[in-house]
Amino acid sequence: MALRVFIVEDNPLIRTNLIETLVELAAIEVVSFSNGALESNRWLQANRNAWDLAVVDLFLAEGNGLAVLGAIRERSPLQRVVVLSNYATPNLRSRCAALGADAVFDKSTELDEFLDYVRIVESGAA
């Protein structure tokens, strides 16, 4: 069964590249994506069990990823949440972890580590 991924990313180019990369990576199905916090929270409320991995950017055109993290704190233990941001400072990493993020990766320097993490989640080892 494919790993079902929900993406929260407001930059269309980054989102498209991310989707293409994930689909090529392994048995991954991008079930939906969102541009902002409010839209993401609505989708997540309506589709509580429709995803296995959420990939969340912190800085969005509408709202922020921290609000999305807060909205999905109550989830299945099998669901994973990853933050992928250009601003993965130590302080933001701590805040994300406190809000329930399983991992935080910097888009500009930790993309390989992010992809390795996705492979681990997809294989069922995480």
pLDDT, tens digit, for every residue of 19-47?
999 999 878 999 999 999 999 999 999 99
Q: Is residue 36 situated within a structural domain?
A: yes
pLDDT above 90 for 116: yes
Q: Which domain holds residue 92?
A: 3-121
Q: What is the pLDDT of residue 125?
A: 58
Q: What is the pLDDT of residue 71?
A: 87
Q: Is residue 53 situated within a structural domain?
A: yes
Distance CA(52)–CA(87), nearest Å, equals 24
Residue 113: count of CB within 10 angstroms of its CB: 12
Distance CA(42)–CA(117), nearest Å, equals 26
CATH number at residue 59: 3.40.50.2300
Domain count of the fold of the chain: 1
Distances (CA, A) of 3 to 13, 22, 29, 67, 121: 22, 10, 6, 24, 8
Q: Is residue 126 situated within a structural domain?
A: no
Cβ-in-10-Å burial (0-12, 13-18, 19+) of 102 comes to middle
pLDDT, tens digit, for every residue of 4-21?
999 999 999 999 999 999
Q: What is the pLDDT of residue 124?
A: 82
pLDDT, tens digit, for every residue of 41-98?
999 999 999 999 999 999 998 999 999 998 888 888 889 999 999 988 999 999 999 9
Q: Is residue 76 situated within a structural domain?
A: yes
pLDDT above 90 for 112: yes
SS (HEC) of 46-60: HCCCCCCEEEECCEC
For residues 60-74, b (16+ Cβ closer than 10 Å) or e, as one string?
A: beebbbbbbbebbee
Q: Is residue 82 situated within a structural domain?
A: yes
Q: What is the pLDDT of residue 26?
A: 79
